[in-house]
Structure formats: C-alpha cells, structure tokens
Amino acid sequence: MIGTDKNNYIIGRSFSVKKLGINTAAGILDIINTILVATSWFVIGFAAIGEAGGAKGATSGAATFYYIFVGVGLILHIIGLLKSRKAGISITGHILGIIGTGIFLLSPALALGTFVLLIIAAVFTLKQSPVASK
C-alpha cells in the first residue's frame, strides 16, 4: 500500500520519498500553460490581424504575455529537475516540461507540440513517483 505519512513523505513497501512543493507548483503551472498555449494561436493571430488593420504593437504585446508564463514554467521545471534528482523523485515530467516550454519559446507556431507535452508533463510532475531502484 502506498500513501503519505504525517511528514508528507510518500511511503511504500521499500521506499520513502518526500513530496516537493516545487513539483506541485510546476504541475499546476503546466495545466495553466496548457490552457494558455491552446488559446495562443487565436489571440496572437487576431492581434496580428488587428495590427495589419492599423493597431500598433498588438502582436508583440500578446506574445510577450505568453512568453512570460511559459518562461516561468521553464524556470520551475529546471529548479524542480535539480531538486527532484536530489530527493530521488522521477524527473520525467520535468524533462518533458523543459522540452515543451522550450519549443514554445522557440516559436509559438509549435503550440500543438507544446500542448501535448505539457499535458503529459503535468501528469508525471504531479505524480511525484520515486526513481525505480536497480
């Protein structure tokens, strides 16, 4: 049986791993970023159309909003990767989160790949399973 004890440690038959708050924060931000990435094509696209019609700076302002949120997600995943490795927690979610946020920061045109990777990253990051021992 797997559960948690009073000190917030994951307990099981042969392991004990502390749950990290940074993993929970990264997982929740992945869910938020998934929703934002899903809307980014429409918002940035409509801003570009508006800019073509005469509005100035609408596209860069809209894109900056998404870049900030996804950039914070990238930073959380890097910190979470380092802390999870020390604590003996699986880093699969953080690796997927780093790849997902990285490809969005390269180009918002790759939002579909980011969307899929962030959903999977959120699941693995929130799971906080211990590293399998050899």
Position 73 in a domain: yes
Total residues belonging to the chain: 134
Say how many domains are in the chain.
1
Report yes or no on 13 lying in a domain: no
In three-state secondary structure terms, 8 is: coil
Identify whether 11 is part of a domain: no
Position 103 in a domain: yes
Inside any domain, residue 14: no
Residue 47 has pLDDT above 60, yes or no: yes
CA–CA dist 98, 120 (Å, integer):
12
Domain that holds residue 99: 21-127
Say what the pLDDT of residue 32 is: 95
Q: Are 97 and 71 in contact (CB under 8 A)?
A: no
Categorize the per-residue pLDDT at 58 as very low, low, confident or very high, splitting at 50, 70 and 90. low
Q: What is the mean pLDDT of residues 52-67?
A: 77
Q: What is the pLDDT of residue 122?
A: 95
- 9 located within any domain: no
DSSP 5: -
Indicate the pLDDT class of residue 11, thresholds 50, 70 and 90: low
Q: Please count the other Cβ atoms lying within 10 Å of the Cβ belonging to residue 43.
A: 17
In 3-65, DSSP assigns E strands to: 3-4, 9-11, 16-18
Q: Is residue 5 situated within a structural domain?
A: no
Q: What is the pLDDT of residue 57?
A: 67
What would the mean pLDDT of 35-55 be, rounded to a whole number? 83
Residue-wise pLDDT tens digits, 82-117: 999 998 888 999 999 999 999 999 988 888 999 999
pLDDT of residue 7: 63
CA separation for the pair 70, 55 (Å, rounded)? 25
> What's the gap between Cα 23 and its chain centre?
10
Domain membership flag for residue 16 = no
pLDDT at 130 over 90: no
